[in-house]
Amino acid sequence: MISTLRRGLLVILAALPLMANAVAAPSAHELVQDTTNRMLADLSANKEKYKKDPQDFYTALNTIVGPVVDAEGISKSIMTVKYSRKATPAQMKTFEENFKRGLFQFYGNALLEYNNQGITVDPAKDESGDRTSVGMTVKGNNGAIYPVSYTLEKINGEWKLRNVIINGINIGKLFRDQFADAMQRNGNDLDKTINGWAGEVAKAKEKTADATEKSAQ
């Protein structure tokens, strides 16, 4: 009897990797839809608390959205090869953390003004390759419709967010331009630029808000 149980246990253990592989990772469309649903549900349940303490919302966004963002890849893209090659592993790690913190502040402040006007994820597109996009439409307080496009890449079998285009504004390019401009202003001081990234994100947010407001007029 004991021998039979042992053999059964060994069979189960051996099959675990196959069972794990059998559970397919979510598609890019499913990932965006699920993350959006979870984010909006959390915002709806805690909005008043988050308005009093936005930092709690940034922390929640990090928990919900953080795992689906390719922070390492985006950070290198923002720095570009010119600067990322010069950065130490410690500097890259610091910038990744500062990037994520700035990103969640960038989106968090806008979401706190969202009043359930309407967010719709577009139908799924072809995901046969290692790169795809997922569209979304967001209705603003003024009734204007803003298109959003998420670029995702498949990394180790899982889809990760690599870029966002909001109403025609390429956020990745905007951040790259901000980083290059900051490096020039800071005399190519990498530490100063990395540590001051929150201020650069604030500038990018203002540019995005101005451009979006103009397009809605």
Query: 120, 163, 128, 170: which is closest to 145 by C-alpha?
Result: 120
User: What percent of the chain has pLDDT above 70?
Assistant: 82
Asked whether residue 167 is domain-assigned, the answer is yes
pLDDT at 12: 42
* Tens digits of residue pLDDT in 48-99: 999 899 889 989 999 999 999 999 999 999 999 999 999 999 999 999 999 8
DSSP string covering 104-126: HHHHHHHHTT--S--EEEPPP--
SS3 169: strand
In which band, very low, low, confident or very high, does the pLDDT at 173 lie, cut at 50, 70 and 90?
very high
Asked whether residue 168 is domain-assigned, the answer is yes
Asked whether residue 137 is domain-assigned, the answer is no
Asked whether residue 216 is domain-assigned, the answer is no
Bigger pLDDT: 14 vs 43: 43
* Tens digits of residue pLDDT in 175-216: 999 999 999 999 999 999 999 998 888 777 666 665 555 555
CATH assignment of the domain containing 105: 3.10.450.710
Asked whether residue 195 is domain-assigned, the answer is yes
Asked whether residue 80 is domain-assigned, the answer is yes
Work out the number of other CB atoms within 10 angstroms of the CB of residue 131: 12
Distance CA(90)–CA(10), nearest Å, equals 43
Question: Structure pTM?
Answer: 0.79
* Tens digits of residue pLDDT in 100-144: 888 888 888 878 887 767 889 999 998 999 999 999 998 877 778
Asked whether residue 54 is domain-assigned, the answer is yes
Tally of domains in the chain: 1
Where in the sequence is the domain holding 182, given as residue range(s)? 28-115+156-207
